[in-house]
């Protein structure tokens, strides 16, 4: 666990939650979302999108309709973002897809779980009946743990499907839950 800035190390999560807000993004949020996306992509350990990803591509995935983008703020500071969008067009459009990134300085304090829980409700409100993550890197321990905590099941394992920057070919997971 990272230290919880400004709070005693044993501060209860309820206290943290009162200072955390999640809201739908506005145009003014895009530069921060893009910077965080670029950082995560450049890491080469969590997303198929890599350092060559253009701003236009990232925006199409994360920010522009049919995606709905949300930002998470802790005491007013930008702490993370997620999107919800249809996983497939047409006859697959009732299943949501989502993506999440937490600012490095805010990791390890439950924000992925908080954002995921929020996204499940956002997806329900938009009429989705299930949520699916198509490509969770198996070595991304925090993500695997967070999605498990949010009620997702690993329904598929794609051997060597991800070319990890440091580890080489590692498995990717298909993760799913009914809403
Ligand atoms: C994955 C990510 C979203 C997790 O965010 P986070 O806010 O740090 O996660 P949480 O604090 O909610 O922790 C989730 C769980 O993982 C555990 N965890 C956190 N960091 C961990 C680590 N490095 N190794 C193992 N477990 C870890 C936490 O303890 C928690 O489990 P618990 O509730 O049983 O204690 C964040 O690391 C990130 O933004 N990574 C880059 C983008 C990314 O990977 N997105 C997801 C792609 S599928």
Measure Cα distances from 84 to 2, 66, 75, 174 in Å.
27, 8, 24, 16
pLDDT of 17 over the 90 cut: no
Strands 130-137 and 95-102: parallel
Give the tokens for residue 165. 């920057």
Q: What percent of the chain has pLDDT over 70?
A: 90
Average pLDDT over residues 150-158: 98
Domains of the chain plus CATH, in order, are 13-129 (3.40.630.30)
Give the tokens for residue 158. 């794609």
**What is the residue-averaged pLDDT of the chain?**
92
Q: In which residue are the tokens 């198929």 written?
A: 48
At residue 53, the pLDDT reads: 98
CA of 63 relative to ligand 1 center, distance in Å: 22
pLDDT digits (tens, 9 = 90+) for 4-15: 344 444 444 544
Give the tokens for residue 11. 């501060």
Residue nearest to atom 36 of ligand 1 (CA): 102
Residue nearest to atom 18 of ligand 1 (CA): 142
pTM: 0.91
What is the pLDDT confidence band of residue 21, given thresholds at 50, 70 and 90?
very high
Write the CB contacts of 105 (distance below 8 Å, at least 6 apart in sequence). Answer: 2, 5
CA of 122 relative to ligand 1 center, distance in Å: 21
Q: Is 105 in the pocket of ligand 1 (CB under 6 A)?
A: no
């Amino acid at each position: 666990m990272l230290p919880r800035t400004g709070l005693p190390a044993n501060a209860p999560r309820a206290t943290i939650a009162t200072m955390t807000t999640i809201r739908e993004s506005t145009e003014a949020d895009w530069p921060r979302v893009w910077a965080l996306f670029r950082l995560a992509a450049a890491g080469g350990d969590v997303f198929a999108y890599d350092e060559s990803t253009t701003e236009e591509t990232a925006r199409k995935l994360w920010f522009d309709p049919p995606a709905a983008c949300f930002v998470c703020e802790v005491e007013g500071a930008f702490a993370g973002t997620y999107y919800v969008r249809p996983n497939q067009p047409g006859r697959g459009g009732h299943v949501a897809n989502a993506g999440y990134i937490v600012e490095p300085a805010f990791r390890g304090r439950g924000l992925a779980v908080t954002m995921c829980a929020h996204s499940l409700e956002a997806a329900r409100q938009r009429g989705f009946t299930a949520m699916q993550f198509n490509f969770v890197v198996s070595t991304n321990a925090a993500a695997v743990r967070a999605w498990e905590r949010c009620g997702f099941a690993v329904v598929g394992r794609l051997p060597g499907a991800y070319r990890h920057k440091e580890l080489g070919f590692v498995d990717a997971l298909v993760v799913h839950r009914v809403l």
